[in-house]
Amino acid sequence: MDDRAFLDLLDRDDPPAEGAPLLRAVWHGLRGEWDAAHEIAQDDLTDAGSWVHGWLHRIEGDLGNAAYWYRSAGRPVFVGSTDEEGRAIALSLRPRAAGR
């Protein structure tokens, strides 16, 4: 599945079946379901979880809290829109085929 087809999964009515819980968090976040997304992200203490957590606080408008989570993830604060960042996060979380 190419990147465009994968990103199209984010526009469906049901969360993507493939991938990690963080991908479902991004799906919820892109749909404006902040609480559901945050509940998933706050339980994931990996760098990816911190990135999603920072993105969610950026959506919320809590930029100080977002900055903390971006630092925890070792990432700069994203410069584009929150939708663009959500899709970039989703691509980074995309399950990869073996050998890719």
Amino acid at position 30, single letter: L
Domain locations along the chain: 3-10+19-93
Q: Considering the entire predicted model, what is its pTM?
A: 0.85
Tens of pLDDT, residues 61-97 = 999 999 999 999 999 999 999 999 998 998 898 866 4
Tens of pLDDT, residues 11-53 = 777 776 666 789 889 989 999 999 999 999 999 999 999 999 9
**Alpha-carbon span 37 to 33, nearest angstrom:** 6
Distance of CA 84 to the CA centre of its chain: 10
